Structure 1
Amino acid sequence: MKKLLNYLLGYVIISIKGEGVERFLNIALQRGMNLWDIKRKKDGTVQAQVHLSAIKPLRHVARKSRCSFRIVGRAGLPFQLKSVKKRKSMVVGGILFLAGLYVLSSFVFFIDVTSQEPIKNVSSETVKRLAREKGVVVGRPKWLMDFTDTEKYLMNQMPQLSWVNVSAQGTKVEIEIVEKVLPEPGEKDKTPGNVVAFKDGVVTEILVMRGQARVASGDTVSKGEVLISGLILPLAGEAAPPSSSPSPDTEPELVRADGIVRAKVWYRGYGECPIVEKEEKLTGKSTRSVTLKWGDRQFGLWGDKESPYPLGTEKITSKKINWPGAKGSPLEIIITTYGEGKITEKNWGAEGAKSQAVQKALLTIQQRIPPQAQIVNQEVKPLDEGGDGVKRVFVVIETEEEIGKFLAIE
Structure 2
Amino acid sequence: MKTPGLTKLRGSVTVTVRGEQLEQFINALAKEQIEVWNLTPISVDHMRMEIVVADYFRLRPLLKRTGSRAHVDGRAGLPFFWNQMYRRKWFLIGFLLFCAGMFCLTSLVWDVEVKGNVKLNKEDILQTAREEGIYPFQWTFRMPDQDKLSKDMTRRLPGTSWVGVSRSGTKVTIEVVEAAQPKNTELLSPRHLISKADAVVTHIFAERGQPEVGIHDRVRKGSVLITGQQGDLSVVAQGEVRGIVWHEYDIESPLVRKEFVYTGEKKEKGYLYFGNTAIQVWGYGKVSYDKMQTLTRLDPLTWRSWKLPIGWMSENILEATEIETQQTMEQAAARGMEGAKLDIKVKNGADAVVLKQKILHEKSDNGKVYMKVLFEVEQNIAEELPIVHHQGE
TM-score, with structure 1 as normaliser: 0.45
Higher normalized strand content (fraction of residues): 2
Q: Highest Rg: 1 or 2? A: 2
